[in-house]
Chain A
Amino acid sequence: NAGVTQTPKFRVLKTGQSMTLLCAQDMNHEYMYWYRQDPGMGLRLIHYSVGEGTTAKGEVPDGYNVSRLKKQNFLLGLESAAPSQTSVYFCASSPLAGGAYNEQFFGPGTRLTVL
Chain B
Amino acid sequence: KQEVTQIPAALSVPEGENLVLNCSFTDSAIYNLQWFRQDPGKGLTSLLLIQSSQREQTSGRLNASLDKSSGRSTLYIAASQPGDSATYLCAVRPGTSGSRLTFGEGTQLTVNP
- Which residues of A are at the interface with B, using a C-beta cutoff of 8 A? 4, 31, 33, 40-45, 48, 50, 58, 90, 92, 94, 97, 100-109
Contacts and interface: CB of A to CB of B under 8 A. Distances in A.
A43 B51 CA distance: 21
B42 A108 contact: yes
Which among B41, B89, B99, B101 has the greatest number of chain A C-beta atoms within 10 A?
Answer: B99
A108 B43 CA distance: 4
A109 B43 contact: yes
21 contacts: A40-B105, A42-B89, A43-B101, A48-B98, A48-B99, A48-B100, A58-B100, A97-B98, A100-B51, A102-B32, A102-B49, A102-B99, A103-B34, A103-B46, A104-B99, A104-B101, A105-B46, A106-B44, A106-B45, A106-B46, A108-B43
Contacts of B99: 31, 48, 50, 94, 97, 102, 104
Interface in B39-91: 41-46, 49, 51, 89, 91
B98 A43 contact: no
B58 to A, nearest CB: 16
Nearest to A96: B99
A45 B100 contact: yes
Given A42-B106, A102-B32, A107 B100 contact: no
A107 B49 contact: no
A104 B105 contact: no
B103 interface: yes
Contacts of A104: 34, 46, 91, 99, 101
A50 B98 CA distance: 9
A41 B103 CA distance: 9
Given A42-B4, A43-B91, A104-B46, 15 more contacts: A33-B100, A42-B105, A42-B106, A48-B100, A50-B98, A97-B99, A101-B49, A102-B32, A102-B93, A102-B99, A105-B46, A106-B44, A106-B45, A107-B43, A108-B43
Contacts of A100: 51
